[in-house]
Structure 1
Amino acid sequence: MSRSFLERATKAARTSRIIVAFDPVFNPYAKPREERARERKNVALGMEKILQELAGIVAGAKIGVPAIFALGLDEIEELIESAGGGLIFICDSKMADIGHVNRLVAEQVFDVGFDALIIHAAVGRRGAIDEVVKLADERGKGVLGLCAMSHPGASEHLNRHMDELLGIAASAGVDGFVLPATFPDLITRARRAHPSSLILSPGVGVQGAPFGSAASAGADFEIIGRSITGDPDPARRAREIAEAMRGAG
């Protein structure tokens, strides 16, 4: 567990409980090779503009695999640097491999400036999560264990084992958990079992969970993507959502 990351996230939550998610609908490989660099730069500049508009309204940004694949780590690094350290950046890598491979990926993630990453708790502690947590502790970075998901199919297997996965992730020393806003009872259960751990919850807005519902159930942050980034005025929409969340939790 990284005390520096945990302290920073806890402090950020006092100002805002929104983490904006970036998963731009953008496939550079559908374009001719000579056009890709320009398109990547345009998309990255658009993301940077949104982040500038959201300064002081959101606590951080979650950047997922689609954006990382489409833009590349160099563009992501510039995007993170443009925020000037004012936001928490989380890499939604949904890491799920053996420790050696996990560490190789995590080194790059942390080197480009991400403050934390997300790893599947299902891969287990020994020889998997533990190696990432060790690296994160060395770097003052954070690790979040994914223990349940927000889509309907998650109830078929993954979410049934949430309690076991929470235990695995906690024993590995993660800073917190990613749990679905669409299943608020899971958040409440996790909060009771792990009162001092961070909880971040996706599934608010487009996926159906009301704004503020995850925070009311016990989450520290709600991860909100398309409801903000897809709005013509992201800052105005984020302020409306923040107001709707006021008093939750």
Structure 2
Amino acid sequence: MSRIILALDSVIGLSTLTKIREYISRVKFSYVTLLQGGLGYLREVYKLKWDEVIFDLKLADIDSTMISIVSALRDLSDSFISHSFIGYEGALDSLMTYLSRENKGLYLVLSMSHKGWNDSFYPYLKNIAERVNPKGFVVGATRPEMIKNVRADFPQKIIISPGVGFQGAEIGDAICNGADFEIIGRSIYSSNEPERISLEIKEKQEAKINECKKVPKDRK
């Protein structure tokens, strides 16, 4: 099973994506994909039968606005990403109810991968996350201790981790620390040989996971 999510923040040809699909089972759209490729492009990418298509809009608004956004895109995605700091009542409560009714998943951001993110807010975000009970969480791969914390607090939830490659996190480290999937974008779509790079990343990730599984827990 591939544990890579392709962050598609650039328009890649469908023939190339079809080849990449052999090594990567999930894809994540963003505002960039939507604005550069348009809805027609996203529809064609969605048809490639990924295990999961995630729309990363970092939703952060009142409930009615967020529901209007996801309802317009629900046929192009299996799950959506929202910020958690916006709170529960009048925001995430209604969004979660709507997505559940539509059989769509919700991932909440608990920790971002860039340097300016402040993890001191985590106790508040954790409380929101417990009330929402989403499909999973976004936790930056550059923050290994936060991945461990979130995994300990939410052992049954899916953790997806951006920040691998260009932002500094090593391939496989996030999974070794408790994540389920690593989100990788620029390392793949900026390459002249995205198919070859996808295979190399998959092989490096598998090797790292096999290596960390052999390390006794008291040494991790």
Which TM-score applies when normalising by structure 1? 0.80
Q: 1:176 is matched with which residue?
A: 136
Task: Classify the secondary structure of the residue corresponding to 2:71.
Answer: helix
Q: Hey, what does 1:224 align to over in structure 2?
A: 184
User: Is the aligned partner of 1:48 residue 2:14?
Assistant: yes
1:74 aligns with 2:40: yes
1:15-30 aligned at under 5 Å gives the runs 15-24=1-10
Aligned length: 209
Equivalent-residue separation in structure 2 for 1:171 and 1:131 (angstroms): 12
Unaligned runs of 5+ in 2: 214-220
1:130–1:173: 8 Å Cα contact kept in structure 2? no
Measured against aligned partners, the alpha-carbon deviations of 1:157-213 in whole angstroms (never above 9, x if no partner) come to: xx2212321331231121100000011110001000100000000000011000001
State whether residues 163 and 190 of structure 1, in contact with CA within 8 Å, keep that contact through their aligned partners in structure 2. Answer: no
| Bigger helix share | 1
Instruction: Describe the superposition over 1:9-57 as per-residue Cα deviations: whole angstroms up to 9, x where unpaired.
Output: xxxxxx1100010112xxxxxxxxxxxxxxxxxx4xx342332011231
Root-mean-square deviation (CA, aligned residues, Å) is 1.5
2:27, 2:50 within 8 Å by CA — same for their partners in 1? no
Confirm or deny that 1:235 pairs with 2:199.
no
2 CA distance for matches of 1:216 and 1:163? 24
Paired position in structure 1 for 2:74: 110
Please state whether the residue corresponding to 1:147 is helix, strand or coil: strand
**Which range is displaced more, 146-155 or 71-80?**
71-80
- Residues 200 and 219 of structure 1 are in contact (CA less than 8 Å); yes or no, is this contact kept in structure 2? yes
- The alpha-carbon deviation at position 220 of structure 1 amounts to 0.3
* Aligned partner of 1:149 among 96, 109, 112: 112
What is the aligned counterpart of 1:136 among 75, 91, 99? Answer: 99
Question: Aligned equivalents of 2:123 and 2:39: distance in 1?
Answer: 34
Using the TM superposition, give the Cα deviation of residue 89 of structure 1 relative to its aligned residue in structure 2, in angstroms. 0.8
- Alpha carbons of 1:69 and 1:212: their partners in 2 closer, same or farther (altered >3 Å)? same
State which of 106, 113, 126 in structure 1 corresponds to 2:89.
126
